[in-house]
Amino acid sequence: MTATTDGSTGATLPSRAAAASDTTLITPETAGVQEAAARAARRATDYLLARQDAQGWWKGDLETNVTMDAEDLLLRQFLGILEEDTAQAAAKFIRGEQREDGTWATFYGGPGELSTTVEAYVALRLAGDAPDDPHMAKASAWIRERGGIAAARVFTRIWLALFGWWKWEDLPELPPELIYFPTWFPLNIYNFGCWARQTIVPLTIVSAKRPVRPAPFALDELHTDPANPNPPQPLAPVASWDGLFQRLDKVVRGYRRFAVRRLRRAAMNSAARWIIERQENDGCWGGIQPPAVYSVIALHLLGYDLEHPVLREGLASLDRFAVWREDGARMIEACQSPVWDTCLATIALVDAGLPVDHPQLVKAADWMLGEEIVRPGDWAVRRPHLPPGGWAFEFHNDNYPDIDDTAEVALALRRVRHHDPERVDRAIGRAVRWNLGMQSKNGAWGAFDVDNTSPFPNRLPFCDFGEVIDPPSADVTAHVVEMLAAEGLAQDPRTRRGIDWLLAEQEPDGSWFGRWGVNYVYGTGSVVPALTAAGLPGTHPAIRRAVAWLESVQNDDGGWGEDLRSYKYAKEWSGRGASTASQTAWALMALLAAGERESKAVERGVQWLAGTQREDGTWDEPYFTGTGFPWDFSINYHLYRQVFPLTALGRYLHGDPFERDLLTRKPLSGAKVS
C-alpha cells in the first residue's frame, strides 16, 4: 500500500488500495449481481417511501460546517437574545466536530481550517468553555501558530468586529452607495451571484454603521501578539490585480470620511428597502441562512426592533434551520433542500421500477407543481421580458428559482402519470421556456443568473471566501440539456449550442469539472447521461474518453470516490478518495448511459452498492459530496446516499426510463418555445 503526501495541507493522499480499505465489502447473500441489485433497490425503495412527508416532499439534513452554528450564537449574543439552553446545545454539536489536533474542518476528513476554528472557539467561549480547558488550549495554540485572528478571512473578522475583538478600520469596506450603481457599471450588485448579492447588500449597511457591542471576554489568546492585535496587512504589488483592488479598497475606506451624510442615509434606506422587498413569505431571505443573519443585523442597526414583523419573522425563520439531534445537540443547516430532494427522490423511485401512477409519486408531483414560481425575481434584471416559470431549491425562495432544480423537476414530473396531464404539460412548458431564456451567451447555463461572469467581484479584498459569481457550469448545463432532450428538443439550435459547449469543456483526461457536486466524478456523471440522451452514441470519442477515465479511477473495492481536495489540487486528487454511495452511483449512471451495462466496471460498482447497503436499505456516507463553493464551502446532503444509488441500481436493472414503456404521456416533442 502506498501513499503520497500533500505538503500544502499535511493530508495523506490515498492510493487506490488505501481508498478501498475504508469500506469493507460484504458479499451479497443472493447469487448474481442482478439479484443483489434488485434486493438492494427494493430495500432502498421501501426506505425512501417510508420517509416521504405527508404533504408529498422529501428533505434530508443539509450538513455543512460549524461556522453556521458559531455565527448563530454570535448573532444571538449581538442581539441580546442568546439563551443558555441554545448555547449549550450548539456547543455540544461544535465540540463533537472538533478534530484531534484541536481544529475544525470544513468537511469530513478535511484539514483544519483557520477561520472555522476561530469561529468555533469563540462560540464555545460564549457557551462557557474556559480558555485553559484542554480542548480550547489546543485550538488556540493551533490558531496562533497559523497567524491568529489577523490571518482569518474577512467575514470572520467582521463577526469579531461586532464585539470589538477586531477594528472596523482594519477591514475592507463596501459602501451602501453600491445600491445605486447601474447594471452596466462594474461592481454593481447584479455582478455578484445571487447568494453573494443577498449577503453583500446588508453588509454594506453593517460596514457603514460599524457597530460594537460590549465583548463578554477578551480574545488575547487568539493573537500572535496581544500587544499588537491588528498588524498591518501586506500589500500585493501595485501592478497586480490584487494590488490594484487593495488600493481601491483604501480609497473606498477613505471615502467614508467625505461621504455626503444625506446620500449615505438615502443609500442605507434604499438598501433596507431592497432587503425587505426580498424577504420571503416564511420570513427568510433566499432560503439560506447567511443572508438572513446579515439582513437581521442590518435592519436592526437601522432601528427595526426585534418585535417588528420583518425581524420577528426573520428570527423565526432562523429557528427553522435548527436540527435537534437525539443526544440534545443542535446543528444549524445553511439551507434546506426539499425541492431538490423531492425531484431526485421521484426520479430514483420511477427509475427503480415503482409504478408511475403510484399514489406517493402523484403526491410528490402535486407538491412540486404547487411549488412552481410564477412571478419575476432578480433574474429578470438581466431578462426583463422573459416570462417566469421554474423552481427554487428551498421551501420558500420566489426571488431566486434556479436553473438546475427547474431542469430536474421537469425530468421528475415527466416520469409521473399525473391525474391532470395538461397541468403538468403547462408547467413543464413554462420551465422549458424559462430555462432556454436563461441560456448564457456562450451557450451554457449558470445556476441562477445569465452571464454572471464579471471578473471583478472575486478580486475584492472584501470577498475572500468562496465564489461570488455564478458562471455557467458543466453539471447545470448537462441537466438542462437532458431535460431539453426529454422534451423532444435535442435538435433545437439552443440545445446544440449547450452540447457544443459541454464537448469543448471536457478535461484532457476525459472528465468534466463538477461545480455543484464533488467533483470530476459528479461532472462526468452529469454530462454523459445528458449527451447520450441528446443523441450522442456511446461510440462518440468524448463518451469513450469519459468511460476510460471512470474506469481508470475506480477504486480497488469496486466503488468510486473523490475527495474535496480535488478542487484545490486537481491533478493529484481528481477522482481520488474513499468510495461513497453517491459518487459510485454517479459513475455508474455515466457508464450505463454510455452502454457499458455488461462491463466489469459496472458489475463491480453494482456489487459495491449492494454489498455496502445496510439492512434498513440505507448507505452510510460521512463524506461530503456536495458543493456550495468549491473547496471553501462543502455540503453533505444526507439524502444523496439514498436517491443516487437507487437511481443507478434502477437504471442497471431496467434501463433508461424514457426508453422503456412506463409512460403514457409523450414528451413535448418539437415544442415551440421562444
Query: Of 170-174, 319-323, 477-481, 550-554, which gets the smallest average pLDDT?
Result: 170-174
User: Which residue has cell 454539536?
Assistant: 93
Res. 284 pLDDT band, cuts 50 70 90: very high
The whole-number pLDDT of residue 238 equals: 64
When comparing pLDDT for 11 and 504, which is higher? 504
Domain boundary among 302, 332, 362: 332
The whole-number pLDDT of residue 244 equals: 59
Q: Per-residue pLDDT averaged across 367-385, rounded?
A: 96
For residue 646, give the nearest of 634, 657, 658 by alpha carbon: 657
When comparing pLDDT for 260 and 234, which is higher? 260
Same domain, yes or no: 229 and 312: yes
**How far is 152 from 616, CA to CA, in rounded Å?**
43
When comparing pLDDT for 234 and 485, which is higher? 485
Q: How many domains does the chain have?
A: 3
**H/E segment holding residue 14:** strand 11-14
Let me know if residue 543 belongs to a domain. yes
Domain boundary among 282, 313, 332: 332
Let me know if residue 531 belongs to a domain. no
When comparing pLDDT for 656 and 83, which is higher? 83
CA angle 268, 269, 270 (to 5 degrees): 90
**How far is 393 from 287, CA to CA, in rounded Å?**
8
Q: What 3-state class would DSSP assign to 367?
A: helix
**How far is 53 from 67, CA to CA, in rounded Å?**
29
Res. 584 pLDDT band, cuts 50 70 90: very high
CB 264 within 8 A of CB 204: no
**How far is 209 from 624, CA to CA, in rounded Å?**
37
Q: Per-residue pLDDT averaged across 125-142, rounded?
A: 97
Distances (CA, A) of 491 to 268, 305, 312, 495, 669: 49, 56, 51, 7, 11
**How far is 608 from 604, CA to CA, in rounded Å?**
6
Domain boundary among 302, 317, 332: 332
Same domain, yes or no: 328 and 349: no
Let me know if residue 60 belongs to a domain. no
The whole-number pLDDT of residue 242 equals: 64
221-238, pLDDT tens digit by residue? 999 988 887 777 776 776
Same domain, yes or no: 123 and 256: yes
Let me know if residue 224 belongs to a domain. yes
Q: Is the pLDDT of residue 11 over 70?
A: no
CATH of the domain at 410: 1.50.10.20
Res. 567 pLDDT band, cuts 50 70 90: very high
Catalytic option among 69, 402, 404, 405? 404
The whole-number pLDDT of residue 235 equals: 66
Note the helical H segments in 452-553: 474-486, 493-505, 520-533, 541-552
Same domain, yes or no: 98 and 132: yes
Give rounded-to-5 percent helix, strand, coil for the chain.
50, 5, 45
Same domain, yes or no: 225 and 283: yes
Parent domain of 445: 337-455+469-505
618-634, pLDDT tens digit by residue? 999 999 999 999 999 99
The whole-number pLDDT of residue 538 equals: 95
Phi and psi at 329, nearest 5°, equal: -75, 155
Let me know if residue 313 belongs to a domain. yes
Same domain, yes or no: 392 and 301: no
Same domain, yes or no: 178 and 211: yes
Same domain, yes or no: 358 and 473: yes
Same domain, yes or no: 86 and 192: yes
**How far is 375 from 326, CA to CA, in rounded Å?**
40
Same domain, yes or no: 153 and 260: yes
Q: What 3-state class would DSSP assign to 183?
A: coil
Let me know if residue 462 belongs to a domain. no
Let me know if residue 288 belongs to a domain. yes
Q: Per-residue pLDDT averaged across 485-509, rounded?
A: 97
508, three cell numbers: 484532457
96, three cell numbers: 463533537
Same domain, yes or no: 173 and 232: yes
Buried b (16+ CB within 10 A) or exposed e, 24-36: ebeebeeeebeeb
For residue 451, give the nearest of 440, 442, 462 by alpha carbon: 440
Eight-class DSSP state of 655: -
For residue 563, give the nearest of 608, 621, 518, 605 by alpha carbon: 518
Eight-class DSSP state of 517: B
Rg (CA), the chain: 25
Same domain, yes or no: 270 and 377: no
Question: Which one of 290-299, 451-460, 650-659 scores highest in mean pLDDT?
Answer: 290-299
Let me know if residue 661 belongs to a domain. no
* Active-site residue flag, 404: yes
**How far is 574 from 100, CA to CA, in rounded Å?**
27
65-79, pLDDT tens digit by residue? 999 999 999 999 999
pTM of the full structure: 0.91
The whole-number pLDDT of residue 181 equals: 95
Backbone conformation region of residue 643, classed left if phi is above 0, alpha if psi is from -120 to 50, else beta: alpha
286-343, pLDDT tens digit by residue? 889 889 999 999 999 999 999 999 999 999 999 999 999 999 999 999 999 999 999 9
Res. 456 pLDDT band, cuts 50 70 90: confident
Buried b (16+ CB within 10 A) or exposed e, 187-217: ebbbbbbbbbbbbbbbbbbbbbbeeeeeeee
